[in-house]
Structure 1
Amino acid sequence: MRIGLITDNPGHPLLSATAGLLRAAGHGVELLDPGAPDAALAAPADAYLLKAHTPSGLELARRLERLGAPVVNSAAATTLCQDRTLMAEPAVRAGLPFAVTRTVGALGRWAAGVALDSPVVVKSRHNRREDLVARVEDTVHLGELAQRWPDEPVVVQDFAPNSGWDHKLWAIGDRVFAALRRSELSPEGRGPTLPLSLPDLPEGWADLTRRIGELYSLDVYGVDIIATADGSPLIVDVNAFPGIRDQPGAPEALADLALSRAKG
């Protein structure tokens, strides 16, 4: 089999380990930099892994899909997760516990006409590296943030009191991995990622993660969940093909998934 990796970071630990497993088993691995002018191949590989969320990466994935090549995740599913307004809609329609997400437009314009009486979380509408994610306590803090990001399109979520730790859940096919990470919104800032075994997850959270995959047509994805004050889950983000670093068994699961898709 020939597996293509669409990425501008072929040295990423998950991709590198997966490529090593595939090559050791006798399969071909081809690297496609979506920014390169000759990225699209004349003869498509048997399947592709899309670890690039840039416009050029998504366009390359669409071209390969039109040629009949399987792409994990699809360009459409990946695009959905890049827009936090669209991201919230499938989960809300399905009645899943997703944070209520309001689209307010450019931060500077919205901040000029609002008075906050309770904390909120302000996020860039478009999910990308180094985007804006901030807890805003009051109107003064909001004004300061707006001065730094005046033209940034944002969404707003009410802040839900929680422990300050994010449950990071990742899925590759049907297999779920988990970890704990101190939230970047906590006063102490983001801390290290701590291992978390599936039996230690609250009941039903692994199934909730798999349900997100079904709804969003994702095969490799991450779900950020916080435990609210009463212990119930609240989904705050969904990511297509996240890093899934330092998770034993993740490269093997990804290699198996790629081969399964290549075989049709």
Structure 2
Amino acid sequence: MTTVGLITPEPDHPLLAATAELLRREHRVVAVDPEGAGPADRGPLADVYLLKARTPRALALARGLEARGVPVLNSAGATALCQDRTAMAQRAAAAGLPFSATRTFGTLAELAADAGPAGPLVVKSRHSRRRDLVARVDSPVQLRELAHEWADEPVVTQEFAENSGWDHKVWVIDGRVFAALRRSELSPEGRGPTLPLASGQLPSGWAELAVDVGEVFGLDVYGVDVIATGGGAPLIVDINAFPGIRGQAGAPEALAALALRRAREAVAAA
């Protein structure tokens, strides 16, 4: 029997709950809240852990588990890399991925004090987290208004690429590709519904591009936000470690199979 640990404060998350239900038919599942007070990495260990949380305490817990030789998916290092949008852009550019050109500013106030955007810009928090800053800015006035609320926020900017207003959400679990369309939060109508999309309906080469992202970033479970530019070429605007992947048929099965395989590999390598 394999024991699978879930590093999350929300074990009832739809993807995790469905995965746990599958695993519990023959295996054991334990949830570990990384924000809890106990030293969870010092007690009896699971055979493999799924790192759904991305807080500093979650990453510290994951590093402690890895130091004890336990596989963590995704690794603490890969997860942390995807939280720093500056480092993310640098890694993508070095690998030749079609990633949006990114500039970094120490604070939004520093950006606002600059000459201002020459054209539409997307301004994002440098450090990806829940309820972070993601906004389209079309003028210096808008930028100053944004800086009034987020003055001390470290930010990155990306040129706004004209597109259909819909993001392609491409998710990968151990090389298996899932996809959906979602109206961008930057569109005039605001974020809209998520529409299922078979991986075969992605533009040619996009599924392979998403798999390449995992190899470049050392990720097993991740999401890639891609837009089609005016000429139809893909442009990656964000990469997320262990996203929600809600409502995707086959995703819980793929995640359960990944966890069990990595646990078996760890035992064989010991």
In 2, distance between residues paired with 1:113 and 1:255?
Answer: 49
Counterpart for residue 24 of structure 2? 23
- Which one-letter code corresponds to 1:248 in the other structure? A
Shift of 1:238: 0.2
Q: Which contiguous aligned blocks of 4+ residues in structure 1 show a shift greater than 3 angstroms?
A: none
Shift of 1:113: 2.3
Task: Show CA shifts across 1:109-160 (max 9, x none).
Answer: 2202222220000000000000000000111111111111100000000111
In 2, distance between residues paired with 1:43 and 1:115?
Answer: 55
SS in 1 for 2:151: coil
In 2, distance between residues paired with 1:101 and 1:172?
Answer: 27
Shift of 1:41: 4.3
In 2, distance between residues paired with 1:160 and 1:178?
Answer: 21
Query: RMSD value over aligned CA atoms?
Result: 0.7
Is 1:32 the equivalent of 2:5? Answer: no
Judge conservation of contact 1:78–1:240 (CA < 8 Å) in 2.
Answer: yes
Query: How many residues matched?
Result: 263
Judge conservation of contact 1:122–1:156 (CA < 8 Å) in 2.
Answer: yes
Counterpart for residue 54 of structure 2? 53
Counterpart for residue 231 of structure 1? 232
Shift of 1:106: 0.4
In 2, distance between residues paired with 1:177 and 1:6?
Answer: 23
Alignment of 1:76-225 (within 5 A): 76-225=77-226
SS in 2 for 1:194: strand
In 2, distance between residues paired with 1:37 and 1:130?
Answer: 25
SS in 1 for 2:24: helix
Compute the TM-score of the two structures, normalised by the length of structure 2.
0.96
Name structure 2 gaps, 5 residues minimum.
266-270
In 1, distance between residues paired with 2:48 and 2:42?
Answer: 12
In 2, distance between residues paired with 1:134 and 1:254?
Answer: 32
SS in 1 for 2:46: coil
Judge conservation of contact 1:107–1:146 (CA < 8 Å) in 2.
Answer: yes
In 2, distance between residues paired with 1:28 and 1:236?
Answer: 37
Compute the TM-score of the two structures, normalised by the length of structure 1.
0.98
Name structure 1 gaps, 5 residues minimum.
none
Judge conservation of contact 1:44–1:67 (CA < 8 Å) in 2.
Answer: no
Over the matched positions of the two proteins, sequence identity in percent amounts to 64
